[in-house]
Structure 1
Amino acid sequence: MNDATTSLLTEHFSYTPLSLIDDIINSINNLIYQAISGLETSLIATPPERLGFAHATNGSTIPETDEDGNVLYPEAKLELENGLHQLETLLEANVDKAFDKFEIYLLRNILTVPEDLLSWVRLKHYEGLSFTASSDTPTPETINAQRKKLLETRKLNRSLKEECASNDAVISQLKSILSTVETAKPNGAEEKAAKPLDLSFLTSSPAARQLRVGVDAGSNVKHTPLTTNTTFILSQLPALQATLENLRPKLASLPGSGEAMETKSKRDERKAYIESRIRLHLERAGQLAMGDDGNPVVAGRRIDISEAHALENVANMLTREPQSS
């Protein structure tokens, strides 16, 4: 019996042919065990004298007896156990030999399908089914391609979720900056008031209009969005950092420069850096004029007190250390 025949018969019977033969052999073995057990019970209950056991009658020895006065035969139990074991072994050997022939006969003549008829046999639950492959039948290559697409889609979904969470955190921080500011009472006690923070000066102030930042509906001049200027400034930071790293060794090699750099405060350095960047930006934009003495002249204006307060509030909120709750 080959694998195709075994598969067909297993699908037809809903169990393998060998399992049927094993059940028959197990049933016969159980009958043997029951017969041996019944024979053992009967022999133990039979008096040893009736089975042919007897003591010597020469009068020299006295046989052992139990509490009821019955004569004991210790050798009888051992001989019965050996005899029953030999009988069980003999029956099992005969059953195995006979049912090996029985198994071979069943598999060759009854539980089998001729090879020339195997491809023609169709079970009932196969009726009406078409076994011809269609054009859209998936192949291992297409399945692997779809699996790869699914993995890439999951990676993209995970990265988009992480980016969305990062954007939500940034938006939350920005909203916390724009939500409320702390004001002080006349007596010195602090009080939190729901006062909106006005940042319109960043896009609608005279300085913003002069630098053409933001949107001015009443002007025909093309304005640059604030994000464009911020992006440009951020793009210049790596070049500025590289230039700063190159200049630091040169400044340290100048005589007296080390002591001057140590005594100079960080606030003065920040102020000088900001002024230089503003001057460079104005020069590039063509808004920085040169005086008769060769020094640059910046066309400035007097800022309003509201703009100064707003800038001061923003600087305080960005530099304030978080208080422990």
Structure 2
Amino acid sequence: MSSQLEIGSLLPEILGFHPQRLLDDLINAANEPIYQCTDHVLNFMSAWAKERAENISKEEQEDLAREIEEGLVAFQTLLESHVDLAFDYFEVWTLRNIFFIPPELQVTVPHQRGLDLNQDPSREAELFKEIGELREQLRNKRRLNRLLKSALPISNAQLARARARSDSISFLPSRPPSPSLAETLSKLTSSLPDPVPPEVESLIPPALQQQDPTKRPWEQGRTGYVQWAVSRLIQRTNGDDIDKDTEIDNAQREVFGDAEDLWNLHGSLEAEKASRPRDLELADIKSDSKKRKLE
């Protein structure tokens, strides 16, 4: 039984069609003339009954029409039975002689020539597993393709907005980037003079050096201003040319007064603190610390 099933599946693979379908088409083609013949006989008998209806009664006309119909049905059934019987023999003979491959005959399909069909069951399981992985990869790629297609309109909208923004600033001149720009800026930065001379920087207390660099020296509070004034006095003692008043110096002098006067004031305050009792001195220290926190 298994050999017959293999042969039945092998013939359609070789021929490209199933033999039973060919036989069905032949039987239908043989039955078509029977239907045409029955139609012509029906037309002839209808014309004959119409000519005879003038000489007979109405009841006889109905009986005649019924006899014609029953006779045509019997005639068509008789022809179909003869055709079916003949083609039954033809079908059996064809399947046993034409569309038949003997079991002892070894047949190889052309597109299967050279294939090793005797595979180990374990190898077959590995192949099926590989096929499953490939199908999963195909499903993932299809899923990714759908995601990319859904993201395409969003990307196009973002691109349109970016182009609109680019067009809004297109009036600005475009200059090619200079390859030596970074090198030029580095040289200019290194060529700048030191903000504080080394001899003066060594005299500045560490507490002042650690103050907020975003503020100017005289904005660092009372101690910062005193230290700034001391540094200016040291510069004058060393003979540096700082006599040229600037707008900042004039503004500072109007608000705080001259640096020498402030220095004298500082000395008098220190002397006054030394003569005051210990408890008052501690109170001043606490008030100074609170002011520094507020600053």
Interval containing the TM-score (normalised by the shorter chain)? 0.3 to 0.5
Greater percentage in helix: 2
Kindly indicate whether structure 1 or structure 2 has the higher relative contact order, using CA contacts under 8 Å at least 6 residues apart. 2
Normalised by the length of structure 2, the TM-score is 0.38
Normalised by the length of structure 1, the TM-score is 0.35
